[in-house]
């Protein structure tokens, strides 16, 4: 009987211990992408913020402003959902500042993750229930996609993207 009690208590503890590496691993991926997006935003010149590879595409500045919109997702996980601080901004300095503000909200959301909060359910797009950790992973995945979009913008303007810059 005692063995059964020990096993009953040990199994949930093992499951909790196994969730922590996933949080740490995903946070590391987020931080790497965050750093690359900020560096990319800082590397592009002011005039390049209006650059569009084709007329129907978003400008580089609009792409970066779109990333800053993540503040709504991230702030909503730790409190009240905040509006995009880059909304209506066109100047590089304003957009970079907004991007950094949005990442501060995401840093706070990642810092709040633990074996309990990571599994809390929240309403995602369309009202679907998702875990908080899944929301953050989805945000990082989207940001990786956006970094992939902006890298050609940078190359077309003669700027080396941060992930390719060996200096």
Each residue's pLDDT tens digit, 122-142: 998 888 999 999 999 999 999
pLDDT for 67-126, tens place per residue? 999 999 999 999 999 999 999 999 999 999 999 999 999 999 999 999 999 999 999 888
- Residue 124 is predicted with a pLDDT of 84
Q: What are the start-end ranges of the H helices in 44-157?
A: 60-68, 70-78, 92-111, 132-156
Each domain of the chain, given as residue ranges in start order, spans 21-156
- Residue 9 is predicted with a pLDDT of 42
Give the whole-number percent of the chain exceeding pLDDT 70: 89
Among 1.20.120.450, 3.80.10.10, 3.30.499.10, 3.40.630.30, name the CATH number for the domain at 21-156.
1.20.120.450
Helix-, strand-, coil-residue percentages of the chain, each rounded to 5? 70, 5, 30
What tokens does 88 get?
Answer: 């209506």
- Specify the pTM: 0.87
């Amino acid at each position: 009987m005692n063995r059964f009690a020990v096993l009953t208590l040990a199994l949930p503890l093992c499951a909790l211990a196994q969730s922590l590496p996933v949080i740490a691993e995903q946070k590391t991926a987020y931080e790497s992408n965050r750093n690359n997006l900020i560096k990319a935003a800082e590397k592009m010149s002011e005039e390049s913020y209006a650059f569009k590879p084709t007329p129907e595409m978003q400008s580089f500045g609009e792409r970066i402003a779109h990333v800053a919109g993540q503040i709504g997702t991230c702030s909503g996980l730790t409190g009240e959902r905040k509006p995009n601080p880059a909304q209506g901004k066109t100047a590089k300095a304003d957009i970079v500042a907004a991007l950094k503000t949005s990442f501060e909200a995401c840093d706070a959301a990642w810092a709040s993750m633990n074996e309990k909060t990571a599994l809390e359910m929240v309403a995602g797009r369309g009202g679907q229930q998702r875990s908080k950790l899944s929301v953050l992973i989805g945000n990082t995945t989207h940001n990786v996609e956006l970094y992939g979009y902006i890298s050609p913008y940078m190359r077309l303007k003669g700027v080396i993207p941060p992930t390719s810059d060996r200096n």
